[in-house]
Amino acid sequence: MGDDGGRWVELARAWMADDPDPVTRAELEALVVANDAEALRERFSAPLEFGTAGLRGLIGAGLARMNEANLARVAAGLARQLLADVPDAAFRGVMLGRDGRRKSDDFARVVAEVLVGQGVRVYWVPQPASTPVVAFLGRYVDAAATAIVTASHNPPAYNGFKVYSERGAQIVPPQDARIRAQMDAIPSVRAIPRVPFAQAVAEKHIRVVPDRWVDAYYEALDDQCLGPVPPPTQIAAVTTALHGVGHRFVHEVLARRGHRHLFPVLAQAAPDGEFPTVRFPNPEEKGALDLALALARDKFAEVIVANDPDTDRLCVAVRDPKQATGYRVLTGNELGLLLADWLLSEGARQGTLPERPLVVTTIVSTMMLARLAEARGAACAEVLTGFKWIWDYALSREGEGETFVFGFEEALGYCCGRAVRDKDGIGAAATLMELAAALKAEGKTLLDRLDALAAELGVSVTAQVATVLAGLDGMARMARIMAALRASPPTAIGGSPVSRQRDLAGADADAAGLPRADVLTYWLGDGSRLVVRPSGTEPKLKAYLEAREAAGEGEPLGAARARAEGRVAALDAWVREFIASVA
């Protein structure tokens, strides 16, 4: 092992001396004995940082992994930041939940013990629970913060930690930096005070959340729904929780709304952090919906309602005999437009729409939401990727008289009202089902409504190129690709000239009123758009493609769609070729 390798061994030995977990100590010891400098380098090159959706990383030993030592440090940092910055933080406490992943229960107990050890009370959600439910509960009890151990839709080897501020929305700067500063000031993990979990419960420093508080979440969703109970007609729907925590919450909400023809994929209904029937527990990924599709064909279901493991996302497939599977999976952008249209149009029809409605999306989501909002008399804003930015903007506009109605991001995240200040796959499922029932009562489907929107607003085709670049070498290659784009800005992409470029890493962000971020956007002369950014939650470089076309008078929508698809294919080919050219 070279000199550099000796550095990593030194860091590993220092970590082991302070690590309270014998399992991760043994893991590092084995790497040291094996002289595995590369594995040690990956674990100690940089700490986990708050990204698009909190901390997230592989479970394992070291500074850059999810483990008991890191969770103890972040919990202590959070507690100290709250005590310093938030009035009555010790009494108001922290709402604490977790999903059903590997180590989630163990990690959550560590967090609870450390919070209590710092003098902060804890509200403990007794069973693995959906992220939007826990986020709601934190605001329901006016907690100083809400924390959730979850890695959402990442593979089984990952876990994570999300933090919500006293506002009930995910933390944004400077709070994340304040927490990090408090974490960095902690000299030793072993010296962090902790109160054993059972003792903290017995002494009432930890209060177990009662079921009636979860009932308040269901009631809040009832209040934001627009459709009647029971619905005007029944929709046959297959549901899947993808081995996550959402089954009981989704079915409870849909049953309360009067939906009776629900067929769950039972093999995926119970929480299981191994995700045994899917390769990747993300409904966007190839193969994730195979069991749901098979059950849908058997039941002749009209829709498939699929949630990711922590139930903050929603994927929908609609029966379509033109597809080889018998179902067409809607893109996140298509579902976002459908939900926004329903909330704005039906809200206006019922007279419940706020005087100045606001819809918010992200800079990588479809440009069509702005057109829809203009047509429906709503304000529309674009923010950085991540729901923390959607709700940060929405809350900032309350003082200006604008009222949030809907927010979405193309990665299957939707918020259909003000019950939860984050994406909510349960609330979105309820809204989707009432829209589908209303359309069916008129003899129409969700696909019919998409065609009507395309005829009104124009055809939009979107796609994504996601390049997996794992490990430190992958991170370095991502940086080289972004640097190459900046060093030699393209003048044409996919055969269309670049009419405008924006680099949010510099002054362009200030001009756009956005925080600085590693995002490049290109608007093309034919109306297309390309956005390139490293993912904030996965080891991927993502490119977002969109082409728009208006159908000519008397022209079938299919012809306009084919032109848009051709332009997206040209963008796709350009992106892949460029990435391959950067070593």
Catalytic residue set: 152
The percent of residues in the chain predicted with pLDDT above 90, rounded, is: 91
Percentage of the chain modeled with pLDDT above 70 = 98
Phi, psi dihedrals of residue 177, rounded to the nearest 5°: -70, -35
Res 501: pLDDT: 97
Give the orientation angle of helix 446-457 with respect to helix 332-350, to 10 degrees: 90
Question: What is the structure's pLDDT at 46?
Answer: 87
Kindly tell me if the per-residue pLDDT of 551 is higher than 90: no
Query: What pTM did the predictor assign?
Result: 0.95
Is 2's pLDDT higher than 90? Answer: no
- Please, which residues have CB within 8 angstroms of residue 528's CB and are 6 or more apart in sequence? 493, 494, 496, 545, 546, 547, 548, 567, 568, 571
Whether residue 422 has pLDDT greater than 60: yes
pLDDT digits (tens, 9 = 90+) for 53-69: 789 999 999 999 999 99
Of the pLDDT bands very low, low, confident and very high (cuts 50, 70, 90), residue 583 is: low
Strand partners, 360: 381, 407
**Domain 333-456 fold:** Alpha-D-Glucose-1,6-Bisphosphate; Chain A, domain 3 (3.40.120)
Q: Which helix (H) or strand (E) holds 74?
A: helix 68-85
Scored b (16 or more CB within 10 A) or e, 220-254 reads bbeebbbbeeebeebbbbbbbbbbbbbbbbbbbbb
Q: How many CB atoms are located within 10 Å of the residue 80 CB?
A: 21
Long-range (24+ apart) CB contacts under 8 A made by 56-59 are 56/151, 56/152, 56/154, 56/158, 56/159, 56/160, 56/161, 56/537, 57/158, 57/159, 57/160, 58/157, 58/158, 59/102, 59/103, 59/157, 59/158, 59/159
What average pLDDT score do residues 35-45 get? 92
**Nearest-5° Cα angle at 406, 404 to 407:** 105
The H or E element containing residue 329 is strand 327-329
> Which CATH fold would you assign to the domain 65-209?
Alpha-D-Glucose-1,6-Bisphosphate; Chain A, domain 3 (3.40.120)
**pLDDT above 50: residue 1:** no
Is residue 484 predicted with pLDDT exceeding 90?
yes
- Euclidean distance between CA atoms 485 and 165, whole angstroms: 36
Tell me the average pLDDT across 387-397: 97
pLDDT higher for 343 or 474?
A: 343
Instruction: Check residue 3 and give its pLDDT.
Output: 52
How do residues 73-116 score in pLDDT, each as one tens digit? 999 999 999 999 999 999 999 999 999 999 999 999 999 999 99
Single-letter amino acid, residue 566:
G
pLDDT of residue 543: 97
For residue range 169-203, list pLDDT tens digits in order.
Answer: 999 999 999 999 999 999 999 999 999 999 999 99
Domain 459-581, CATH class in plain words: alpha beta
* Per-residue pLDDT band at 537 (split at 50, 70, 90): low
| Complete edge-to-edge strand list for the sheet that includes strand 496-503 | 459-468, 540-549, 529-534, 520-524, 496-503, 492-493
Confidence of residue 506 (pLDDT cuts 50, 70, 90): very high
Q: What is the CA radius of gyration of the chain?
A: 24
DSSP 155-211: -TTEEEEEEE-TTSSB--TTHHHHHHHHHHT---STTS----HHHHHHTTSEEEPPH
Burial of 550 (0-12, 13-18, 19+ CB in 10 A): middle
Using DSSP's 3-state secondary structure scheme, residue 140 falls into helix
Q: Give the pair of three-digit tokens for residue 169.
A: 């929305």
Q: How many CA atoms lie within 13 A of 96 on its CB side?
A: 30
pLDDT band at 5 (very low <50, low <70, confident <90, very high): low
Report, as an integer, the average pLDDT of 340-346.
98
Mean per-residue pLDDT over the chain, rounded: 95
End-to-end Cα spacing for the chain: 27
pLDDT in tens, 195-217: 999 999 999 999 999 999 999 99
pLDDT, mean of residues 452-476: 90
Mean pLDDT of 498-523: 96
Q: What is the pLDDT of residue 144?
A: 98
3-state secondary structure of 126: coil
**CATH for the 219-330 domain, from 3.40.50.920, 3.30.390.10, 3.40.50.1100, 3.40.120.10:** 3.40.120.10
pLDDT over 90 (residue 553)? no
CA distances from 41 to 12, 29, 55, 186, 426 (A): 9, 14, 19, 23, 40
CA distance 301 to 290: 14
Domains 219-330 and 333-456 share a fold: yes
What is residue 4's predicted lDDT score, i.e. its pLDDT?
65
As a residue count, the chain comes to 583
User: For the chain, what are the domain ranges?
Assistant: 1-45, 65-209, 219-330, 333-456, 459-581
Instruction: Name the β-bridge partners of 546.
Output: 462, 529
Please name the residue that has the structure tokens 């829709």. 303
